[in-house]
Amino acid sequence: MQNIYKDIFMEDLQKVYDEILRREKQLGQYYDLLNSGHAEAEEWVGDFLRRLELPVTPETRMAALTRLIGLRDDALTQVLEKEGRDEEAVIEAKETAYKMVADFYLKRHLELLDWIEDEALLTPFYREVLKEAHRVGEAMSNWQSAWTAHIIHGVNRELYELFNGDEEKIYEMLESENLLDLREEGCIGDRCYSVLKKTRKGFKSVPYAKAFRMEVQEVVNKLENMRGVLAQMEDEVFGQQAEWLAYIDALIDAFSHPETDGLIKKWAEVDRKWMAITAPIQIGHPLEYYEDHYRKAVALEWDVRLSSPKLMQESKIAKQISSMAESLANEFGEEAQRVNANCLKQVERTQLYIGVPALFYGAEFQGLFSAQVVPNDTEVSSELGKKIFAFADNVLESKKARPVMRLAREVFGDDFVLHQRKIMFEQPELWHKVYEITTIGHEYGHILWVDDNTETQMNGSGNYKNVEEFKATVGGLMAFFMHEDEALKEEILRDTVARAVSLMSWRKTGEVEPYYVEGLLHLDILFEAGVLDFKDGKLTIDLSENAYRKQKALYQARYIKLAHEFYLPKCDAGKFLSNYVEKVDGIWLPKDEKVRNFVDHYWTRYLEIGQETMPF
């Protein structure tokens, strides 16, 4: 009987999944405003620009649509600065934008939930999971503004000014004054669930439960209500009611914890309970840090993720990653083999979910990830592995909807841009194969060469994440190089080039600095290999077999150096970066003159025409 229930559930899940993609496509049509027009988009964008007191131009419209559909505010920041707004005015405008975007999506989420209820899809248990998760999400979204104001625009700006932008001195102070959350054994953790409060004597660390009393209490109240509802029901399909209740209990306990001592332990228990839930409907809780570069305060993530029944198959990437890592570990020696053995156990235990973000809240109204590997807690991962979430269909739909930009045509050339679009629209199977290697491979790549204290040891200068994102992507590439598919070689190289160059637009977007720095590290290799060249203001791209071989050899050498000389001995990540990039007036720039000339040129053109569309 349970098999029949499961078959029906999976059919319903596919209907919900397809409906989410349909709505996503519908939202993507808002970009039509820029050309043929779109009444709904006209109304929302008009209101948005009026409230932010921005003129109606093609550039401001594009910035508004990027903030709404792409959930990115770098374009908005650019147009605000062009209008002469000072830092405080930009912060105020971005907060207004956040609230408008949050209101828009909260309404859309409710409409989706009403549709699922009207169609009587899934089961009563999972319909309640979705509805109650939404109520928690509303509370998390209400909290986000206070979190951002206190940490990002409050304490962190004060620390930056106090130490004249010297981040190493900031880290030294935080460590010497015991202002970082500790693991159970007393060593410094790799993230915090607390904030700094100013006192007459300096700073003190305060848990979220005390720093944001009202906001946290609202979240806890919603979680308690969720628990009460689900406790009266049965999970008829997956038999996981007990696991859901244990997970919610752990969340309530962690959010409510009133002391900084024990915070990481409490949240590790959340991750343990969460790992036991294996249904195709998953909730993402506060798992990672993005914006807070100093204390790594965990972001207010909250979302519901749906797996696609059609995509529930084992990925070959895990085996290829493991094979690559094992081969290198055997070359590196005994210590590498020890670290690698633990990492490969995690790879083996990792659960892969390919799907879509169905509902999202809080920090995720400021950017959705294309994929994610979690939890970060190394102890939990050693015991239970990880979960990888990959949102391939969602990413593809987003890319297809976004208009062709003038900057892309100017920098890459029409042939390159047309080829990328042809793959997206006419060969989606090929696009998915590339995504699997570069994006899912990236997530598996995070797992390698890391043990309990790797991050804290390598983060002395605060640069661990600035190296880790590069290491993860190249891990996926290394696995591909070892198991090359001739038909994919050029597409993988094209994707690497496109991503590396495009990341240059994030030069001044602090919360995604690790990806911008990753892009710089890719460009260093691509220029050295001759894949890219920049002369007389023009970028040339060589996709020949010879150029491919050169970049492959450079990536392999760079990855071996990074793993063997930095990750295994746990050397400061800043030392690796210093070989290729440097910070100038607070901005990371390439050391290689030709690469820097291109990066500066791209940024200049981005500021000038970055929001202009130019359809074929």
Q: In what order do the strands lie in the sheet with 387-390?
A: 281-284, 301-307, 351-362, 387-390, 371-374
Q: Are 359 and 112 in contact (CB under 8 A)?
A: yes
Take residue 502 and report the two structure tokens written for it.
């495009």
Q: Is the preceding omega at residue 55 within 30 degrees of 0, hence cis?
A: no
What is the spatial distance between Cα 3 and Cα 266, in angstroms, rounded to a whole number?
36
pLDDT in tens, 110-159: 999 999 999 999 999 999 999 999 999 999 999 999 999 999 999 999 99
pLDDT in tens, 528-546: 999 999 999 999 999 999 9
Quick one: pLDDT band at residue 2, thresholds 50, 70, 90?
Answer: low
pLDDT in tens, 160-181: 999 998 888 999 999 999 999 9
Whether the pLDDT of residue 582 is over 90: the answer is yes
* Torsion angles phi and psi, residue 165, rounded to 5: 75, 5
What is the spatial distance between Cα 404 and Cα 402, in angstroms, rounded to a whole number?
7
Least confident of 7-11, 163-167, 545-549: 163-167
Domain endpoint, select from 90, 122, 154: 122
What is the spatial distance between Cα 143 and Cα 318, in angstroms, rounded to a whole number?
37
Look at residue 503 and tell me if it is in a domain: yes
Whether the pLDDT of residue 517 is over 70: the answer is yes
Quick one: pLDDT band at residue 15, thresholds 50, 70, 90?
Answer: very high
Instruction: Tell me how far the alpha carbon of residue 33 is from its chain's centroid.
Output: 28
Extended strands (E) in 215-343: 281-284, 301-307
* Torsion angles phi and psi, residue 52, rounded to 5: -90, 0
Look at residue 203 and tell me if it is in a domain: no
DSSP bridge partners of 351: 387
Opening angle at CA 116, ends 112 and 118, nearest 5: 110
What is the spatial distance between Cα 54 and Cα 52, in angstroms, rounded to a whole number?
6
> Who's near 478: CB < 8 A, 6+ residues apart?
324, 445, 555, 556, 559
- Closest by alpha carbon to 375, among 500, 475, 282? 282
Look at residue 264 and tell me if it is in a domain: no
Look at residue 338 and tell me if it is in a domain: no
What is the spatial distance between Cα 121 and Cα 12, in angstroms, rounded to a whole number?
5
pLDDT at 376: 85
Strand 532-535 to 351-362 pairing = unpaired
Look at residue 77 and tell me if it is in a domain: yes
pLDDT at 190: 87
**Mean pLDDT of the residues in the chain:** 95
pLDDT at 538: 97
Task: Give the ranges where 232-275 is alpha helix by DSSP (H).
Answer: 241-256, 263-275
pLDDT at 291: 84
pLDDT at 314: 64
Count Cβ atoms below 10 Å from residue 311 Cβ, excluding itself: 16
Instruction: Read off the pLDDT of each residue in 328-343 and give the average, rounded to a whole number.
Output: 97
Least confident of 250-254, 522-526, 557-561, 582-586: 582-586
DSSP bridge partners of 588: 583
Q: Are 58 and 613 in contact (CB under 8 A)?
A: yes
Instruction: Count how many domains the chain has.
Output: 2
- Helices and strands of the chain, counted as H and E runs: 27, 11
Residue-range definition of the domain harbouring residue 515: 405-609
pLDDT at 214: 98
**Packing angle between helix 489-502 and helix 414-426, nearest 10 degrees?**
120
**Packing angle between helix 513-528 and helix 593-609, nearest 10 degrees?**
130
Look at residue 346 and tell me if it is in a domain: no
Q: Identify the burial level of 335 via C-beta atoms within 10 angstroms of its C-beta, where 0-12 means exposed, 13-18 middle and 19 or more buried.
A: exposed
DSSP bridge partners of 205: 196
Task: Look at residue 79 and give its three-state secondary structure.
Answer: helix
pLDDT at 422: 97
- Closest by alpha carbon to 467, among 570, 368, 364? 570
pLDDT at 510: 83
Distances (CA, A) of 577 to 188, 464, 465, 535: 23, 10, 11, 26
> Who's near 97: CB < 8 A, 6+ residues apart?
48, 52, 67, 73, 76
Whether the pLDDT of residue 569 is over 90: the answer is yes
* Torsion angles phi and psi, residue 12, rounded to 5: -65, -40
Look at residue 55 and tell me if it is in a domain: yes
Look at residue 97 and tell me if it is in a domain: yes
Q: Are 310 and 286 in contact (CB under 8 A)?
A: no
Q: How many CA atoms lie within 13 A of 424 on its CB side?
A: 20
Task: Look at residue 507 and give its three-state secondary structure.
Answer: coil
Q: Are 203 and 227 in contact (CB under 8 A)?
A: no
Instruction: Read off the pLDDT of each residue in 20-32 and give the average, rounded to a whole number.
Output: 97
Please state, for a pLDDT cut of 70, what percent of the chain lies above it: 99
DSSP bridge partners of 387: 351, 374
pLDDT in tens, 224-271: 999 999 999 999 999 999 999 999 999 999 999 999 999 999 999 999
Task: Look at residue 192 and give its three-state secondary structure.
Answer: strand
Domain endpoint, select from 91, 122, 153: 122
Q: Is 177 left (phi over 0), alpha (psi -120 to 50) or beta?
A: alpha
Take residue 244 and report the two structure tokens written for it.
């859901």
Domain endpoint, select from 122, 142, 174: 122
Instruction: Read off the pLDDT of each residue in 294-312 and give the average, rounded to a whole number.
Output: 91
